[in-house]
Amino acid sequence: MKRVSIIQSAYIPWKGFFDLIGRCDVYIIYDSVGFSKGHWHNRNQIKRDRLDPWLTIPVKSAGKYRQSIEDVVVAKPWAERHWTILREAYAKTEFFDVESPTIRQLFESLAAEPLLTRINEVMLRWLARRLGLTTKIVRDRDFSFSGDRNDRLVDLCNAVGATTYLSGPSARDYLDVTPFARAGIAVEWMTYGPYPTYPQPHGAFAHDVSILDALFCLGPDAANFIKPMVPPVV
């Protein structure tokens, strides 16, 4: 069996994102699709003390309603500000001093990168390695695909030899599984959690924050907290 996920890139995603791709043999970055303002493509949350939890990369979107994620351009400097906020929020966590030098270098290396998709890809690849994931990560543009939304996904699955397509749960509302069945590809639906909690700063525990939270709080043990407490049935 060869399980594949095909999802848009996200900025420093939450642990469920890495849980999903960690269950797959191949993750295809699906950034040829349209950019959605207010989505996770260019923003995510962290834990802060009574302050705005959102870290958002400013992008040029005015008048670009139909632009794809891979064409989105950064509007102004963001990396230094994001790192400053992260340092202020997590400086007192147990593993901040251990994890911060490398993560800070990652932010600095991407400060001048103009494309959002490239920022996301570099961070996703680094974070996946840091969590010990062995999933192969490729981009949709590495392959040929066409047709409607469903046909494009089937084409990408075929291109990497998938026998199983693991989809996010929200796609149940619109994904047509018939083309997958015709191609001999099984469709599975991702179930997130329940995930274990851990010591976390700034009030009540929050699961839906960036994976950086787990790295600063747990260090090398973070990989054990992106997996459900009860093994999922898929």
pLDDT in tens, 16-70: 999 999 999 999 999 999 999 999 999 999 999 989 999 999 999 888 888 999 9
Instruction: Compute the mean pLDDT over every residue in the chain, rounded to the nearest whole number.
Output: 95
Report the helix count and the strand count for the chain, using DSSP H and E. Answer: 7, 7
Going by their DSSP bridges, the two strands 54-56 and 43-45 should be labelled as antiparallel
Question: pTM for the whole thing?
Answer: 0.95
Q: Is 147 within 8 Å of 141 (Cβ atoms)?
A: no
